[in-house]
A and B are shown apart, each in its own frame.
Chain A
Amino acid sequence: MAKRTMVQALNLALRQEMAKDDRVIVMGEDVGLDGGVFRVTDGLVAQFGEQRVLDTPLAESAIAGMAIGMAIYGLRPVCEIQFSGFAYHSFHQLENHAARMRWRTQGGLHVPMVLRAPYGAGVRALEHHSESREAYWAHTPGLKMVIPSGPRNARALLVSAIRDPDPVIFYEAKALYRAFREEVPDEEETLPIGQARVAREGRDVTLITYGAMLPPTLEAAERLHAEEGIEAEVIDLLTISPLDDQTLADSLAKTGRAAVVHEAQRSFGVGAEVVARLMERAFYSLEAPIARITGFDTIVPYFSREKHYLPHADRIAGRVKDMIKAV
């Protein structure tokens, strides 16, 4: 096994799927010679040629719309949107067509496409390069929304997304792109979409998170253990939609307390959905209100203030302590 960053792991997934299946086409702005601005597609054009790796003109609506046509034809387009902040142009095509084609044609046509985009804050970027708007996609019936949290699951989930018969939005935390390396096997590996994973076992409280918020949540869990003897169970969603509420309810049955941690703004978001599902599915397990530890309902501030916007281990641990002391 080789140690790989998330960028390298995603590159491996694309390379292997392209080698295996000539229906897989990579397309997007600067994905060719440049290898994508984060280098996820590095070397693909050299290996597979310009027919398989399309450096598109600058138009995100066109990238998504064209991918829909390719997918209907039977190809497996994997679109890269340079930053998720520019995927709103694609939203029109995804909401109005990709997400509905199977439904509209009563199963006659389907759209097996993937739209990858880097999301999230913490990299000292300009405006529009830091948002975490996964809720827009998760809110759209007909789409799946996946957010990996490390190199190994990123690779396995991307392979699954490419093979999925329906449109998958695949957000990659740019803060994790090169944050650490993990063993990622050369051999094929997939992970089921729609399944969360227990990242740390615990009996006192369930912390539910995903993407770039996994490391600070795990850090908070370690701190709670060391400082208070509180054992937090940490659940890494991996897929936002469809939401694996069974894993969440099972954990809550054990712990009785939960908090959701995400960097997206708080209102009307993934946290709200998780809370609602747990109210519906695990109400009688609850010993305390479920907390949302999230970004604020503001635009992500420019980078000098970013650290105050993003949930960090101190904030997460502090809120969990308060929650447990309050009861």
Chain B
Amino acid sequence: MPRKSITPDTDLEQMSILDADGALDTDLEPDIAAETLLELHHTMLLARRFDERLLNLQRQGRIGTFPPCKGHEAAHLGAAAHLRPTDWMVPSFRELAALLWRGASLEQMLVFNNGFNEGGALPPDARTLPMAVPVGSQMLHAVGLAWAAQYRRTDEVVMTFFGDGATSEGDFHEAMNFAAVYQVPLVFVCQNNHWAISIPLHKQTRTPTLAQKALAYGMPGMQVDGNDLLSVYVAAGEAMARARGGGGPTLIECVTYRLIMHTTADDPTKYRSEEEVKAWLARDPLPRFQNYLKNKGVLADADLSAIEADIENRIQAAVTRAEARMAQPHDPLLMFEHLHAERPAELERQRRELADELDVAAKGATDG
């Protein structure tokens, strides 16, 4: 029995198409219709401006804690761009542009972020799962959805998102393994932003890439420049085609950076340097994509100011609507809704208990 090295039989690749200096690899450049490029740009810019607005509102105490996504827009939008309405998206909590691309309502997000359960309501035919706070937990749901889609003999594909930190959770490994064992139509998209709150990537994993974890499970893995929308788009397109064609799951690692705090409760100056952030600001995915569009003649400066104005109006209108809605009296008894399809008797008793308390308080207020 000789001793020899084993070559894994799955692919592991790295890709960058449009670099931070604007240099373009024209051989790899995807052929995307101008109209689609503009839609992608519009969503990316909307996500950036809405994220900024949310941060402003949070700082004024008008919404609660939330995880901003500045810097991640290309990493998740480039992937979600391939989703058909019949496909499923299983997010974590830092995929604002992808959610907007899938039609999420600004107003609903504002209401949600201000601590109203009403903001969690989904449109009836939604195929985007709600945000998952417990890190990594959602990936297994994606495996289940994909298995079911295959069982029903559809051509639907599932795409799930998670961070670099999430790859340490057992759920990640279990999901990767199950997905590969069952060869389900699933694309795993990791937004490697180098940090899990204060833990840098090198303390999270010993491997130089996250993409290589795919090999252990027997699926292809690719590491792409996550601040280059084109790279992500190409990698995800291939993975989606493979999944749709019965070729099983893929892991895509999008190398990106969180240009902002982890959540509005976090102080990143405790654990990372200003220089590091500056270096990554120079690789911001938004101006990179905008310059590409300008060089291509798809976007003119004049168009850009019109788009900015349009986005500003849309956000302002949503804030106005959401705040008007939240200023209306909101029934505390809503907390008893939607816990079960049918409310058990004890819960109904508790609901009445609170209703009575509120009645007494209201009566006290009028009498007083």
Q: Is the interface of A mostly helix, strand, loop or mixed?
A: loop
Q: Which of B193-201, B219-227, B232-240 contacts A (4 or more CB under 8 A)?
A: B193-201
A33 touches B271 (CB 8 A): yes
Given contacts A34-B270, A299-B339, A302-B115, A57 and B199 within 8 Å (CB-CB)? yes
A298 touches B199 (CB 8 A): no
Q: Does B135 contact A (CB under 8 A)?
A: yes
B116 touches A302 (CB 8 A): yes
The smallest beta-carbon distance between A291 and chain B, in angstroms, is: 11
Contacts of B265 in A (CB 8 A): 37
Q: Does A266 contact B (CB under 8 A)?
A: yes
The smallest beta-carbon distance between A136 and chain B, in angstroms, is: 15
Residue-wise, chain A 61-97 has the 8 Å CB interface mask toward B (1 for contact) of: 1100000000000000000000001100100000000
Q: Does B86 contact A (CB under 8 A)?
A: no
The smallest beta-carbon distance between B292 and chain A, in angstroms, is: 34
Residues on A facing B (Cβ under 8 Å): 29-30, 32-35, 37, 55, 57-59, 61-62, 85-86, 89, 124-129, 266-267, 296-299, 301-306, 308-309, 314-315, 318
The smallest beta-carbon distance between A122 and chain B, in angstroms, is: 12
Contacts of A303 in B (CB 8 A): 64, 115
Nearest residue (CB) in A for B351 is A296
Most buried by B among A32, A127, A314: A127
Residue-wise, chain B 2-27 has the 8 Å CB interface mask toward A (1 for contact) of: 00000000000000000000000000
Q: Which residue of B64, B169, B326 is within 8 Å of A126 (Cβ)?
A: B64
A59→B204 CA distance, assembly (Å): 10
Q: Does B208 contact A (CB under 8 A)?
A: no
A238→B342 CA distance, assembly (Å): 37
A6→B243 CA distance, assembly (Å): 52
A42→B351 CA distance, assembly (Å): 42
Q: Does B152 contact A (CB under 8 A)?
A: no
B135 touches A58 (CB 8 A): yes
Contacts of A314 in B (CB 8 A): 361
User: 15 interchain pairs (CB within 8 A)?
Assistant: A33-B198, A34-B197, A37-B197, A55-B198, A55-B203, A57-B165, A57-B203, A125-B64, A126-B65, A266-B350, A297-B350, A301-B335, A302-B115, A302-B117, A305-B117
Q: Is the interface of B mostly helix, strand, loop or mixed?
A: helix
B357 touches A318 (CB 8 A): yes
Q: Does B363 contact A (CB under 8 A)?
A: no
B169 touches A58 (CB 8 A): yes
Interface positions, chain B 324-346, Cβ under 8 Å from A, are: 326, 330, 332, 334-336, 339, 346
Q: Does B166 contact A (CB under 8 A)?
A: yes
Q: Does B133 contact A (CB under 8 A)?
A: yes
A304 touches B116 (CB 8 A): yes
The smallest beta-carbon distance between B265 and chain A, in angstroms, is: 7
Contacts of A299 in B (CB 8 A): 335, 339
A267→B344 CA distance, assembly (Å): 12
Instruction: Knowing that A58-B168, A124-B64 touch, tell me 10 more A-B residue pairs with CB under 8 angstroms.
Output: A55-B199, A58-B166, A59-B170, A124-B115, A126-B64, A296-B335, A296-B347, A296-B351, A297-B350, A305-B116
A296 touches B336 (CB 8 A): yes
Nearest residue (CB) in A for B337 is A298
Contacts of B56 in A (CB 8 A): none
B204 touches A58 (CB 8 A): yes
B346 touches A297 (CB 8 A): yes
Contacts of A308 in B (CB 8 A): 332, 335, 354, 358
Nearest residue (CB) in B for A57 is B168
The smallest beta-carbon distance between B267 and chain A, in angstroms, is: 9
A322→B199 CA distance, assembly (Å): 52
